[in-house]
Amino acid sequence: MTTIPYIKTGESEIDFLIVEELFSNLDFQKWLIRKLNLDNNFKFMGAWKSFNGRYGECDVATEFIINDERVMILIENKIYSSEQPQQAERYHKTGNDLVANNGLNKYITCLISPKSYFKEDAPMRLYENKISYEELLDWFKSQINSERIKFKQMVIQNGIDRARTGYQRITDENTNKFYNYYEEVAREIHPELEYKKPKEVACGIHGLDSIQKYFLQKLL
C-alpha cells in the first residue's frame, strides 16, 4: 500500500494548492510576485479557483494592489492536456475586459506546468510568464519541513511524475453514446456551429462541461 500515491494529482489539486497558499502564506505571495518580476510593494486582495471571465474560465486568478494599481494575475495550469484552441488568446481577452469594464489597471498571464510540458513555438508562448512545477516544488522544499509541507511536496511531485508518464485514456462507452446523441441534436438545431464529438471519450470526462466550452468558444 505504501507505493500507491495518496492523491492522484490533477490540475484541480494544484489549483487548490496555489489558492490556499496565496490566502495563508505571505512568503508564497512574495515568491509569486518575485517570479513575475513585479514590485514588492503589494497588498494581496484575493484568489479564485475556476475564475469565470467574460471569455471563458481561468484556472486561477489572483488580485494584488501594487503601487496603488489593481493588478490581476490570470494563471493557466497544465499537466499534460493539450492547449485548447485560442486558449491563451481568451486569457488575454478576459484580462482586457477586466481592465476595460471592472476597474482593473493591469493584468498578467502566467502558465504553470511541469518542465516537460514547455515547448518552443507553441501557443503557450502567448503567456507572458511561465513557472514550472519543479520551481513550485523547490519553493515548498525551502519551507520549514512540517507534515503539511511534506504533503504538498508529494502532491506537486505526483503532478510532475504524471506529466512524465502521460495520460492513459480509457474509453467510456456510456459517455461516448451521450456525445453521439448530442452531436446529432446539434447538427439538427445549429448546423452552423459544426459541432463534432471527440473521436474517443475518456472515462471521467464531464460531457456537458466540455460541450458548453466548445459552443462558448464558437459563439465568442
pLDDT digits (tens, 9 = 90+) for 108-165: 999 999 998 876 655 567 899 999 999 999 999 999 989 999 999 999 999 999 888 7
Query: Where do the domains of the chain lie?
Result: 11-165, 173-219
pLDDT at residue 120, as a whole number: 60
- Where is pLDDT greater, at 24 or 126? 24
The more confidently predicted of residues 184 and 32 is 32
**What pLDDT does 1 receive?**
47
Planar angle of CA 50, 55, 61, nearest 5 degrees: 35
Reduced to 3 states (helix: H, G, I; strand: E, B; else coil), residue 79 is coil
Q: What is the pLDDT of residue 20?
A: 97
What's the grid cell of residue 83?
492547449
Arithmetic mean of pLDDT over the chain: 83
Angle, helices 11-24/26-35, rounded to nearest 10 degrees:
110
List, in order, residues 6 or more apart from 73 with CB less than 8 Å away: 32, 36, 61, 62, 63, 64, 107, 108, 109, 110
Q: At what angle do helices 133-141 and 147-165 cross, to 10 degrees?
A: 160
Q: 208 and 185 in contact (C-beta within 8 Å)?
A: no
The predicted structure's pLDDT at residue 3: 63
pLDDT grade, residue 37 (50/70/90)? very high
Q: Give the Cβ contact number of residue 212 at 10 Å.
A: 11
The count of residues in the chain is 220
The mean pLDDT of 170-184, rounded to a whole number, is 66
- Out of 42-46, 84-88, 202-206, least confident range: 202-206
Cell digits of residue 92: 488575454
| CATH of region 11-165, choose from 1.10.1740, 3.30.70, 2.60.120, 3.40.1350 | 3.40.1350
Q: Is the pLDDT of residue 215 over 70?
A: no
Three-state DSSP state, 69: strand
Q: Is 50 exceeded by the pLDDT of residue 170?
A: no
Question: In this model, does residue 81 exceed pLDDT 70?
Answer: yes
> Is residue 159 within 8 Å of 140, Cβ to Cβ?
no
Mean pLDDT (whole number) for 52-76: 96
DSSP E strands in the chain: the ranges are: 42-53, 56-66, 69-77, 106-113, 129-132
18/169: higher pLDDT: 18
Lowest mean pLDDT among 53-57, 162-166, 181-185: 181-185
Strand arrangement of the beta sheet that strand 129-132 belongs to: 42-53, 56-66, 69-77, 106-113, 129-132
Residue 96 has pLDDT above 90, yes or no: yes
Instruction: State which of 29-33, 75-79, 169-173 shows the largest mean pLDDT.
Output: 29-33
